[in-house]
Amino acid sequence: MQVARIHGIGDMRLHEEPMPVPGENEAIVRITAVGVCGSDVHWLRDGGIGSDRVVEPLVLGHECAGVIESGPRKGERVAIDPACPCGKCEFCLEGNPNLCSNLRFAGHAPHDGALRQYIAWPEQSLISLPDSMTDIEGVMLEPLGVALYSVDCGNVNPGMSVGVFGCGTIGLCLIQVARAAGAASIFATELPGITHRIKAARTVGATVLEADSGREAEKIIMATGGRGVDVVFEAAGDPAAVSAAIDAVKPGGNVCLIGIPSDDRTAFSASTARRKDLTLHVVHRMKHTYPRSIQLVQNRQVDVRSMVTHRFPLSEVSRAYDAAERREGIKIVIDC
């Protein structure tokens, strides 16, 4: 089977490898589609994320869907939950499987992901897709789940005002989930010139402001009568976006940081955050979101299909990652 592995910074290679052998309680899944996440670009561009580095050649890909090819569920179309918690550690038993101390996560070293034609994966992490949903929508359940968990963390309630800083896939999902949660007004920011993302954010219901050295925060404060928004979500992985988000939120508000900065550092004005008595939540992936994400897509409360703007075959995986790094389109999907 064909497999894409990264061997180091900027070094993506295609290999022919044997079919995987399923372990206990695992099934073989034929991969149909894999999304390219911003975190995947970090792995290829920077050779890792934070202290986790590429040591052995690594298969990326954690936004994925496919068809089960072995066992009693053979033929079933599924979304693949990339997270396999142990279910036994302190954090799992507390109800926080995303914090599992023995977590196996697809495409995060040392665990191989889904950029290949077949994968052996635990059956409990294979989520059945309704007939009404496409494989592409199945791929998008993972980033939608991150947005859904983030909105949970931000405690968005009906009538609130929300700020979303960064209009990539996660940002666009955040806008829609916040709207579904009852947010009355949503302000979003994006870098100048990325017109396709600005247009997409407006289409899903946000008032969009171009990032402008922090002046976008002043405009949001003015638009909210001088108080600021109730909750802000930073989904850009950029220090300027973090600072603008903290400037734009009201005193006593909630700040959720989701973006991954390239240099593994996040900085903001401590005096501003302190004077505002802000609640800061640094979001780590998601938990217990697949059933609700499926409902949101089925009920058409969230449109994820329109975010997929580019598709490449597995044989052109390097081109796909180049396009993602240039921020072409919104979501790039690789057909395996």
How far apart, in whole angstroms, are the C-alpha atoms of residue 10 and residue 2?
19
User: Which residues, including other chains, have CB under 8 Å from residue 163's CB and lie 6 or more apart?
Assistant: 186, 187, 188, 189, 220, 229, 231, 232, 233, 245, 248, 249
pLDDT of residue 264: 87
Pairing of strands 48-49, 126-128: unpaired
Residue intervals in the chain for CATH 3.90.180.10: 2-128+304-335
Task: DSSP letter for 20, please.
Answer: P
Query: In the CATH scheme, what architecture does the domain 145-282 have?
Result: 3-Layer(aba) Sandwich (3.40)
Q: What is the pLDDT along the chain (336 residues), one digit of tens a residue?
A: 999 999 999 999 999 999 999 999 999 999 999 999 999 999 999 999 988 999 999 999 999 999 999 999 999 999 999 999 999 999 999 999 999 999 999 999 999 999 999 999 999 999 999 999 999 999 999 999 999 999 999 999 999 999 999 999 999 999 999 999 999 999 999 999 999 999 999 999 999 999 999 899 999 999 999 999 999 999 999 999 999 999 999 999 999 999 999 888 898 999 999 999 999 999 999 999 999 999 999 999 999 999 999 999 999 999 999 999 999 999 999 999
Residue intervals in the chain for CATH 3.40.50.720: 145-282
Report the sign of the C-alpha dihedral through residues 87, 82, 130, 296, in that order: positive
pLDDT of residue 44: 95
How far apart, in whole angstroms, are the C-alpha atoms of residue 159 and residue 150?
18
How far apart, in whole angstroms, are the C-alpha atoms of residue 201 and residue 168?
9
Fold of domain 2-128+304-335: Quinone Oxidoreductase; Chain A, domain 1 (3.90.180)
pLDDT of residue 186: 98
pLDDT of residue 263: 85
pTM for this structure?
Answer: 0.96
- Cβ contact 226:239 at 8 Å: no
